[in-house]
Structure 1
Amino acid sequence: MKLKKVQIKNFRRLQDISFSLEKNLSVIVGPNAIGKSTIFEAIRLAKAIMFPRAQDELRNVLIQLGATSAHYFNGQLQYDISNLARDVERNITIILAMQFSEEELQFIKANRQAISYRYASSQLGRSSEDPNFDLRSYFSTDLGKTSVENAGATIDQLLADLSPQSLIEFRVDINAQQISISNPVLNIFVTHLEGRLTPEKALFSYFPADRSLPQGEVAIQIGPQDYKVQSDSHLAHATAKYGRLKQTVVNQTVLARVTDIDLKPQFDSIFDTFLPGKEFVGLAQKLTGLLAVLIRDKESGKIFDIDSLSSGEKGLVLSFLLFNTSLSIGSIVLVDELELHLNPAVSRKIIPYLADHVISRSDCQFIISTHSAEILRDAYERDDAHLFHLRNEKDISPVLPQDKKEVLEAIRRLGASTESALTSKALVFVEGDSDIDIFTAAFPSLITSVQLQALNGRTEVEKSIRELLKAEKDGTLKERQGFLFDLDRRPSNLVGTNLVRIEQLNRYCVENYLLDEELLFDLIVKHSTRPPTSRGEFTSQLKEAALEQLDAVCLTSIMEEYRALRASLATAEIKSRSIADIAALQLQRLKDLSMKATELLAVSDWETAFVTRHSEAKALLAPKWEYDWKKLCSGKQLLESLQRKYQINIDLSKLKVELAEKLGQKGSDDILALRSIFEKLLP
């Protein structure tokens, strides 16, 4: 059986998403708390509603989801729709489109009579579990026999239209009053397929991220006492599988003697790949009477209990042991953050092992969610894996190498990784590392799921913006990118788009938002060897230091005219030209320069005129600076001058971080203004 398409509407975090599954290995990435696990919970809930393996599977899943309690009320199963629905006024809809294999269709046809009884009993509102016993009197009557015959005719009609290529839509709709399903007969087909499996096998299995691995002795049961617990651990009580590590090993060891399946190669395959140097020895009883699953360290020869492995190692061993032993041909497996508690070196081996040792052998279908850069990278680069990016509550898109490679390469050139682009809520590029430090300190809660990447100044920022604007125009840019850069007294003419968000500060630089006189005074007194004597004196000196920058600002604007008087030719001007052409071009440049210089020098008393121009420019700007000096001066330069004046004895970058952190906690107007600009870059 293959899951080919999933559609989820109004379920928890998810508003409306739909995606198709073409390969046996699919990986879902996205920011934290965006809804990746919610996809698995939706599939799990739909399975429990439409084709439960046990009568209480739906009840157990709803308990796990917090939508009901362990008790019934007035004889009916009650559930809290607010714990399931995003909007309680709208229906929850979950659609699973699947295909049966040829072998599965043949099994269904061969079991037509048993399925007929299941369907007939379900029409009476009775449990489908062993209806021959439960309703034996009814099925002995003419009415009962007729209902079975009619059920068989319905099944025959459905089977006549089914083939391995048929895409079957299983739909469930949920509201506060009822749960409805689309086709009860087709649901029974799936239920019957899973019903043929022994309890250690599953057609649907869920591996949640919440892993609680017990230490020490656990109760070991064999046979009927463990049947229900083992069966429920696949999906209804999915977290229970992690508490059954020793129980699973015992069960498999006992079964190995019956089925002639050697458990040791399974263990050794896992150890050789992920934990080299260890091997499975077997079971033993300790002197205390407790059961031990023995592992040997090959190098030292030391034998120890499996409990001595780390949480990540035990979770990995259990997961892959179950992958190898509990799945049936065509099983559908949902795995949430398999890399949990594992280092990158181990995570790097997960996808290759799954593809080459599990999926290739069992033809199972794995859907995995991850935050691991190693798993993401492998899924992106392998032809037998499909990568999906869950961007938000209504957008999940495949990441295709043919239309992503170019733009992701452009993002890599900006210093960000493919993983950052796909696993962050937003990717925002800023001018420098100090900007990142300030933003992170000022509003940490906002930055949690945002990837900040520093570029090398404004020139690189604007160059990168142009590259991504071109990529968007070409249709290769799919992910939103944000750029935030300083004003620098040079307003940018670049215009942002839906995917390339551009924000320019309305002050000279980021540091201008940190110029709070009260807090600056406190921190300078704390860290200075020559602090100001009073707050009033400091406020005056701070403003005075800022206004001192006005001379340089006016001078820069005047000198700009003379910087254009460049005598030599640029490299681009002489490229591909002959020496004679270059000589002629250079001569003309010198003549033009001579004429311009003559024109400039024609002013009488040139030096006095220069000083006058500067004075006039300063007089023109002074009133505005007097009022708006906090916005117009260079905050970076001002803090540097304060460090020199007051002999601040900590690194200036640390002072900025401390300033930003305290201003953020204070909720100052300046930081709130900076935050509002930053928020415009976020989805």
Structure 2
Amino acid sequence: MKLRISEITLKNFKTFKNLTINPNPDFNIIIGENSAGKSTIFEAIHLWEKCYETYILASRKGFYKVKRSTNRYVNYQDLDFLRITKDEDLFFDPKNTELGKCAEITVSLTNDDEDITWSLGFKITCPTSIENAFYRVQPISEADFADFAEKFCATGRFLDEAVFIYQTRPVAGIHQFEPYYNEAQIKRKIQKGASHEVLRNKIVAKRRSISELQESISSILEKEVSFKLPPIARRDKDEYIDLLVSINGSKPYDLHLQGSGFLQIVEILATIEFIDAPLKLLLVDEPDSHIHSKLQRKLISHLKSIDHNQFFVISHNDQFVTNAGEGEIFFLNEEVKEDGVLKPINSNSFDIIKNSLGGVVMSLELLNQSKQIVFVEGNDDAKYITTLYKKIADISEITKSISDITFFPLRGKDNIVQKIEYNKRTLSNLLKGKKWKVLFDQDFSTQEIDQRLKNLMIGKRCQPFSHQGYCIESVLFSEINILKEYIKSLVSNLSDDVVSQSIDLVLTEISTAAKNLSHDLNKQIELSFNGQKNNRPEFEGLEFIDVMRSWESNNFKYERIMSKPLIQEFILGLEEKLQQSLFIRCSNNEEELSSKLLLLYFDFIQDLNDVFPSFKNLLIHLELFEEQSARQVA
């Protein structure tokens, strides 16, 4: 009989009011924000196992039949795997009169050989007369339990052998002195979460198939691994197990001297090899704690090849996400909890997550050295900020180093809050003690929308900063006096008055056209706004006329409209009036023109008075520039 879990249903259990999960028959990776409830699913599975064991008769061939006068119980003290401080913490809302102090956990088991499914569910309640003593357990459908017992025991096996649930835990090390245990004692250790304490016993117990275990470990590690087992006769003479390991033919050393990554892999594989059950359910919480990313991929590949196994993995690591197959990734968030159904991510959403996590492959050494992880919209932003920093460092005393910062590109501003959530969650699992920040363009955002977006980012514990302008290049138009001095340096052969008047004239022409509802430029800007609005949830309810109003306060804010196409129009219009090129370039492409104009500005800077206030504030936000220094210059 080949069993698998086809459905898990939770009702009024901890953080879940109602939740139904339809897992993949082989591999399941659960991702989500911290405190979303990922580990709670594991707790529910463990509690179901406790209830299941409680209902098995002493004969091991049937379940207790519940009468009104009899119940089965699980002791509160035996549930140390539950993260609760009192018995009523088990329930979503213990004070709700409709839900009360009654939870339901149902695990549906499917026999793939005959396509039969049994819904084995339990109602779990706590008494009102005494606190923190026990939970009362009742089956939801006795008919399903009875039918499962009849068909499973007909195979010649006992009910307590049907499902084996094992949760791996990070193994930093094992005991140097491990006594010999019998099979029942080993299983009890595994079930109590102390599997690593009997690692030697599990390996020795599979003496006859030790070559298969060695081959599996060697394949994953890409090294020849050999165990030197003690003779069988030593069991009756020795108190402790003497077990040596040789790698690539080296001198054998005791098992406890091996690295944590090696021990973690051996622990998982030895446990799976040791247990014989129609369904071996392996729960893995944060597997990357002690396993190198390269080994993770090979371990996953090997685990998927083992029959009669079903895996549930909680991970924030991109190795698991990016290498997962269709139907194997489950994203748990508040929306899922409200809907009550946790489904695998569809292919389109899966592609989005893969793309958003792509930057995680950056050098771990670089990330580990960084004090700040700064999300930016694209690689150009990182290049510009680094160039600006180097220039400021040349002309002033900056004690902070930009090497303390790693820029993480988000590939655009669309759905930026979700991107921050995904990537921060993934990186936080690898990196501790970092500051998280985000830099983004204002583009069409009004002041209110910009602040609302920042508040959402602050809610994700990410410090936000938006450039004073449509994009980082438009900051050049936030202080026209500085812009004029810069442009004059590019055409030093012309008089200052001619350059200044020409700049005023071109900017006036652009602003007049942008404000004219019947002008083509206004329609072009509106078309661009409508294109962005479709992918920008923060723009919901925002109309183009609202955007136009945000352009003006006491004076027209040129920086608010100067997108790359308009910067292109400004440069070409100014060159036509001056009858001279501002700079040499390969083309008149808007990307090249706007980028060139900004990079040449950085070269222009001679002292801090030449720096736009928005750029000073940016460096202050990144803790690269002292706020006091900026005030002194101002």
TM range (shorter): 0.5 to 0.7
Structure-to-structure mapping, 1:644-663, within 5 angstroms:
655-656=624-625
Distance 1:310 1:561 in 2: 71
Partner of 2:332: 390
Partner of 1:28: 30
Distance 2:612 2:438 in 1: 22
> For 1:561, what is the secondary structure of its paired residue?
helix
Distance 2:222 2:159 in 1: 29
Among 187, 201, 222, which residue is 1:247 paired with? 201
Mark the CA change 1:560 to 1:37 in structure 2 (over 3 Å): closer, same or farther: farther
Mark the CA change 1:453 to 1:494 in structure 2 (over 3 Å): closer, same or farther: farther
Find out whether 1:367 has 2:327 as its counterpart: no
Distance 1:345 1:185 in 2: 47
User: In the alignment, is the contact (CA less than 8 A) between 2:88 and 2:126 conserved in 1?
Assistant: no
Distance 1:200 1:17 in 2: 27
> For 1:64, what is the secondary structure of its paired residue?
coil
Cα drift, residue 400 of structure 1: 3.9
Aligned amino acid, residue 404 of structure 1: S
> For 1:218, what is the secondary structure of its paired residue?
coil
User: In the alignment, is the contact (CA less than 8 A) between 1:216 and 1:307 conserved in 2?
Assistant: yes
Among 115, 123, 127, which residue is 1:172 paired with? 123
> For 1:9, what is the secondary structure of its paired residue?
strand
Aligned amino acid, residue 82 of structure 1: E
Distance 1:274 1:411 in 2: 29
Find out whether 1:297 has 2:247 as its counterpart: yes
Cα drift, residue 416 of structure 1: 6.9
Q: Deviations over 1:466-507 (max 9, x none)?
A: xx59xx9xxxxx989998636599858989999x97999689
> For 2:228, what is the secondary structure of its paired residue?
strand
User: In the alignment, is the contact (CA less than 8 A) between 1:10 and 1:85 conserved in 2?
Assistant: yes
Aligned amino acid, residue 81 of structure 1: D
Cα drift, residue 41 of structure 1: 0.9
Structure-to-structure mapping, 1:598-677, within 5 angstroms:
634-637=613-616, 655-656=624-625
Partner of 1:204: 164
Cα drift, residue 100 of structure 1: 4.2
Distance 1:399 1:429 in 2: 29
Cα drift, residue 430 of structure 1: 5.6
Among 87, 91, 98, which residue is 1:85 paired with? 91
Aligned amino acid, residue 265 of structure 1: E
Q: Deviations over 1:611-631 (max 9, x none)?
A: xxxxxxxxxxxxxxxxxxxxx
Distance 2:348 2:376 in 1: 22
Partner of 2:214: 267
Query: Which gives a bigger RCO, structure 1 or 2 (Cα 8 Å, sep 6+)?
Result: 1
Mark the CA change 1:490 to 1:7 in structure 2 (over 3 Å): closer, same or farther: closer
Distance 1:250 1:313 in 2: 17
Distance 2:249 2:315 in 1: 33
Find out whether 1:63 has 2:13 as its counterpart: no
Distance 2:18 2:360 in 1: 30
Find out whether 1:485 has 2:434 as its counterpart: no
Distance 1:215 1:480 in 2: 37
Q: Deviations over 1:128-161 (max 9, x none)?
A: xxxxxxxxxxxxxxxxxxxxxxxxxxxxxxxxxx
Q: Deviations over 1:526-549 (max 9, x none)?
A: xxxxxxxxxxxxxxxxxxxxxx97
User: In the alignment, is the contact (CA less than 8 A) between 2:109 and 2:117 conserved in 1?
Assistant: yes
Find out whether 1:561 has 2:505 as its counterpart: yes
User: In the alignment, is the contact (CA less than 8 A) between 2:438 and 2:465 conserved in 1?
Assistant: no
Partner of 2:19: 17
Distance 2:573 2:170 in 1: 74
Q: Deviations over 1:227-267 (max 9, x none)?
A: 2x3333443x1x121211112223333xx4xxxxx322223
Aligned amino acid, residue 219 of structure 1: P
Among 226, 230, 233, which residue is 1:283 paired with? 230
> For 1:291, what is the secondary structure of its paired residue?
coil
Distance 1:273 1:401 in 2: 30
Among 89, 93, 96, which residue is 2:106 paired with? 96
Give unpaired runs (5+ residues) of structure 1.
69-78, 104-162, 257-261, 419-426, 438-451, 473-477, 510-547, 567-572, 574-588, 599-631, 643-651, 661-683
Cα drift, residue 219 of structure 1: 2.0
**What TM-score do the two structures reach when normalised by structure 1?**
0.50
User: In the alignment, is the contact (CA less than 8 A) between 1:488 and 1:508 conserved in 2?
Assistant: no
User: In the alignment, is the contact (CA less than 8 A) between 1:436 and 1:453 conserved in 2?
Assistant: no
Distance 2:354 2:282 in 1: 32
User: In the alignment, is the contact (CA less than 8 A) between 1:277 and 1:298 conserved in 2?
Assistant: yes
Partner of 1:219: 179
Mark the CA change 1:411 to 1:299 in structure 2 (over 3 Å): closer, same or farther: same
Aligned amino acid, residue 178 of structure 2: V
Aligned amino acid, residue 90 of structure 2: L
Distance 1:654 1:304 in 2: 49
Mark the CA change 1:324 to 1:303 in structure 2 (over 3 Å): closer, same or farther: same
Distance 2:467 2:409 in 1: 19
Tell me the C-alpha RMSD between the 2 structures: 5.6
User: In the alignment, is the contact (CA less than 8 A) between 1:316 and 1:338 conserved in 2?
Assistant: no
Cα drift, residue 187 of structure 1: 3.4
Find out whether 1:377 has 2:356 as its counterpart: no
> For 2:243, what is the secondary structure of its paired residue?
strand
Among 350, 361, 371, which residue is 2:299 paired with? 350
User: In the alignment, is the contact (CA less than 8 A) between 1:93 and 1:173 conserved in 2?
Assistant: yes
Distance 2:344 2:451 in 1: 24
> For 2:312, what is the secondary structure of its paired residue?
strand
User: In the alignment, is the contact (CA less than 8 A) between 1:9 and 1:16 conserved in 2?
Assistant: yes
Cα drift, residue 276 of structure 1: 1.4
User: In the alignment, is the contact (CA less than 8 A) between 1:85 and 1:92 conserved in 2?
Assistant: yes
Aligned amino acid, residue 232 of structure 1: R
User: In the alignment, is the contact (CA less than 8 A) between 2:9 and 2:106 conserved in 1?
Assistant: yes
Aligned amino acid, residue 247 of structure 1: N
Structure-to-structure mapping, 1:60-209, within 5 angstroms:
62-65=78-81, 80-89=86-95, 90-101=100-111, 164-166=115-117, 168=119, 170-177=121-128, 178-187=136-145, 193=152, 203-209=163-169
Cα drift, residue 551 of structure 1: 4.5
Partner of 1:49: 51
Q: Deviations over 1:525-575 (max 9, x none)?
A: xxxxxxxxxxxxxxxxxxxxxxx9784489999835325889xxxxxx9xx
> For 1:267, what is the secondary structure of its paired residue?
helix
Structure-to-structure mapping, 1:239-638, within 5 angstroms:
239-253=193-207, 256=208, 262-274=209-221, 276-283=223-230, 290-300=240-250, 302-356=251-305, 358-359=306-307, 363-379=308-324, 382-383=325-326, 386-392=328-334, 394=337, 397-400=342-345, 402-404=347-349, 407-408=352-353, 411=356, 454-455=408-409, 461=412, 464-465=413-414, 485=440, 491=446, 508=468, 551-552=481-482, 559=503, 561-562=505-506, 634-637=613-616
Distance 2:282 2:206 in 1: 20
Distance 2:465 2:175 in 1: 55
Distance 1:200 1:306 in 2: 32
> For 2:36, what is the secondary structure of its paired residue?
coil
> For 1:374, what is the secondary structure of its paired residue?
helix
Mark the CA change 1:549 to 1:14 in structure 2 (over 3 Å): closer, same or farther: same
Aligned amino acid, residue 111 of structure 2: S
Cα drift, residue 455 of structure 1: 4.7
Mark the CA change 1:94 to 1:633 in structure 2 (over 3 Å): closer, same or farther: farther
Partner of 2:583: none
Mark the CA change 1:54 to 1:484 in structure 2 (over 3 Å): closer, same or farther: farther
User: In the alignment, is the contact (CA less than 8 A) between 2:111 and 2:117 conserved in 1?
Assistant: no
Distance 1:97 1:241 in 2: 24
Cα drift, residue 39 of structure 1: 0.5
What is the aligned-residue identity percentage?
A: 14
Distance 1:185 1:436 in 2: 68
Cα drift, residue 634 of structure 1: 1.5
Cα drift, residue 352 of structure 1: 0.8
Q: Deviations over 1:425-477 (max 9, x none)?
A: xx97568569999xxxxxxxxxxxxxx96559xxx85xx43xx59xx9xxxxx
Distance 1:199 1:275 in 2: 39
Mark the CA change 1:659 to 1:328 in structure 2 (over 3 Å): closer, same or farther: farther
